[in-house]
Structure 1
Amino acid sequence: MVSGKQLADFGYKAFSSSMLLLTVYGGYLCAVRYHRLLQRRRERQAAAGPDS
């Protein structure tokens, strides 16, 4: 039989793990967005020409 403490410990670990995964995924999304922003900026500068 599972005690209340064991159940609470499992719930805490599951919650902590899901929060960690969400944080890592959020960081990944931010990094991808930032990379695309820089890529578009480089494309615009290249299209404007070397004199600008």
Structure 2
Amino acid sequence: MVSGKQLADFGYKAFSGSMMLLTLYGGYLCGVRAHRILQRRRERDSAAGPGA
């Protein structure tokens, strides 16, 4: 039989683990978005030419 404390510990570990994964995934998405924005800016600046 599982005690209430063991069940609560498991629930806490599962919840904190899922929050950690969500945080890492959010950081990854943010990094990808920033990379795309910077890449577009570089392409736009190079297309404008050196005299612009």
TM over 0.5: yes
Structure 2's unaligned 5+ residue stretches are none
Where 1:33 maps in the other structure, the secondary structure is helix
What CA deviation, in whole Å up to 9, does each residue of 1:1-52 have, x standing for no partner? 1000000000000000000000000000000000000000000001100112
Compare relative contact order (CA 8 Å, sep 6+) and give the higher one, 1 or 2: 1
Counterpart CA distance in 2 for 1:51 and 1:33 is 29
Deviating above 4 A after TM superposition, structure 1's stretches of 4 or more consecutive aligned residues are none
- Alignment root-mean-square deviation, CA: 0.4
Identity rate of aligned residues, in percent? Answer: 81
For 1:3, the equivalent position in structure 2 comes to 3
- Length-normalised TM-score, structure 2: 0.98
